[in-house]
Amino acid sequence: MATTSRNIRRYYLSFNLNVFAMGLVGVFINLYFFSTGSYVDVIYYQIFAYLFTFVAFALSGYLMNRYRPNRVYMLGSALFIFLLIDLLSSTGFLSSAIVFGAAWGVAIGMFYAGNNVIMFDITERANRTNFVATNNALGGLARFFAPIIAGALIEFSALPGTQKFFWDFAITAVFLLLSIYFIIKVRDNDGYNLNYSLKKDIIRGRDSHIKFSAYFALDALFVKAFGIILPIYVFQITRSYLIAGIFAGFIILLGMVTNFVFRKGFRADGPFVNIAVPGMIISSLVLLFPSVISSLAAAFVFGGLYTIFSTPLDNAVLVNYMKFLDKNRDINREMFWVNREFYLMMGRMAVLLPMLLIAFFLTNTMDFVFIIPVLSLYAPIYYKLVAKGRIKPLFFIKRHM
């Protein structure tokens, strides 16, 4: 793929239009299924989405044997549009939580499989640190505004029932169409990879890789529960789509501010790690005492502190993982992404399946929030992964929602 500033600008436009679109619906698809069904429906949707995300992610390599990565990216975006239209149609034949989740997962898998390869290719001869910094800074702005706008659209809609989601989903589809238009403009000269095979997707015997695998699984276990439980918890407390959207925007805004403050990194052998790791665990305890601090305030306090503590640590892990990739260039480019996605999927399943079981027996679903302090005990994994020394800035914004 030719590396040109025009290609990169077109990619920025396409990807961040997609980010904005997904920000409009990310939290609210969960709330859609919660409003029309129950927590069980939300978890069914999440389980099947992430199971099929991995399947589609892994198999998309075969599509890229025949088609260029931007075509696979486009297929994923087009499927998002179709599913949103179907969800609000009179027939809605794909609108059950399980079927919709599976199809949504296929769309996610195809989109990110194509996206990761495009991103790798167009920056082959570019400054990748600057690229990631710029892309995630733009994405942060998109993610901040999107849930607040979506919450307002739904909250103040005069339409009845599930039709309240109409304008949010319709506007999302428009932005996805614009995203497709700009990715078509990205010129692909060498996007084919005729040697892709699932047999090459397992990384064996690579120095330090087991630590990264554990991080991807454990971090996904916590972040998936965080992203589902806290926005729904805020909605249950307030019964307001707007406040749920503001909560999502608040978390993203703090991620942006933290990235700016730590744009030059931190000394891993300094005090920050020793403050941040226990800080994530201790701050989660505010959720256990709603009589001391109001439930809504506790959600904002914990969500904010967790974001402030975890964002620089995730940046550090990402930099160290990129260094690991640099030392292992004999592996096909898709292999790293599929292998990483496998451990993310394992972490998500490890928390979603027990949540599903709990949902069948929990009489008060607000009690789901009490599992967050237990899951926060994953935090010590950072001690093994954050190398000593100055961490380079990446402006990596963690996608909690």
Q: Give the contacts of 173 (CB within 8 A, at least 6 positions apart).
A: 21, 80, 81, 84, 85
Are the beta carbons of 210 and 384 closer than 8 angstroms?
no
Rounded Cα–Cα distance for residues 258 and 222 (Å): 20
Find the range with the poorest average confidence among 32-36, 153-157, 196-200, 315-319.
196-200
In whole angstroms, give the CA distance from residue 355 to residue 370: 12
Residue bearing the bigger pLDDT, 168 or 118? 168
Q: What is the CB-side half-sphere exposure of residue 307 using CA atoms within 13 A?
A: 29
Residues 6+ apart with CB under 8 A from 355: 43, 225, 228, 368, 371
pLDDT-derived band of residue 59, with 50, 70 and 90 as boundaries? confident
Query: DSSP secondary-structure letter at 10?
Result: H
Half-sphere exposure of 306 (CA within 13 A, CB side): 31
- The superfamily CATH assigns to domain 5-183+209-385 is MFS general substrate transporter like domains (1.20.1250.20)
pLDDT tens digit sequence for 232-243:
999 999 999 999
Say whether pLDDT at 196 is over 70. no
CA distances from 258 to 225, 248, 310, 334, 397 (A): 22, 16, 9, 31, 9
Q: Residue 38, SS3?
A: coil
Position 394 scores a pLDDT of 40
Mean residue pLDDT of the chain comes to 84
The DSSP letter of residue 387 is: -
60 burial level (CB within 10 Å; 0-12, 13-18, 19+):
buried
Instruction: Please give the structure tokens belonging to residue 301.
Output: 């306090």
Task: Write out the DSSP string of 83-134.
Answer: HHHHHTSSS-TT-SHHHHHHHHHHHHHHHHHHHHHHHHHHTTTS-HHHHHHH
Selected residue with higher pLDDT from 109 and 198: 109
Helices (H), 239-363: 241-261, 271-283, 295-327, 333-361
Task: Tell me the sheet residues that pair with 390.
Answer: 267
pLDDT score at 161: 82
Tell me what the mean pLDDT of segment 96-118 comes to.
Answer: 92
- Helix or strand holding residue 384 (H, E): helix 381-385
Paired residues of 267 in beta bridges: 390
The domain ranges of the chain are 5-183+209-385
Residue 364, class by beta-carbon neighbours within 10 Å (0-12 exposed, 13-18 middle, 19+ buried)? Answer: exposed
Q: Is 267 helix (H, G, I), strand (E, B) or coil?
A: strand
Above 50 in pLDDT, residue 116?
Answer: yes
- Residue by residue, DSSP assigns 19-67 as HHHHHHHHHHHHHHHHHHS-HHHHHHHHHHHHHHHHHHHHHHHHHHHHS
Q: What is the pLDDT of residue 311?
A: 87
pLDDT of residue 5: 77
Q: What span, in angstroms and rounded, lies between the C-alpha atoms of 187 and 192?
A: 13
For tokens 């927590």, name the residue: 39
Q: What pLDDT does residue 392 have? A: 43
Angle at 45 between CA 313 and CA 36, to 5 degrees: 120
Which tokens belong to 336?
């790293």
Q: What percent of the chain has pLDDT over 70?
A: 82
Helix 241-261 and helix 295-327, axial crossing angle in degrees, nearest 10: 50
**44, 101 Cβ separation under 8 angstroms:** yes
* pLDDT value, residue 391: 42
- The answer to whether residue 387 scores a pLDDT higher than 60 is no
Residue 327 or residue 314, greater confidence: 314
Percent of the residues in the chain that have a pLDDT greater than 90, as a whole number: 50
Tell me the two tokens of residue 400: 């909690």
51-60, 62-71, 313-322: which range is least confident on average?
Answer: 313-322
Average confidence (pLDDT) over 115-135: 73
Residue 273 and residue 314 in contact, taking contact as beta carbons nearer than 8 Å: no
Q: What pLDDT, in 10s, does the model give residues 131-156?
A: 766 777 788 888 899 999 999 999 99
The residue-averaged pLDDT of 120-131 equals: 70
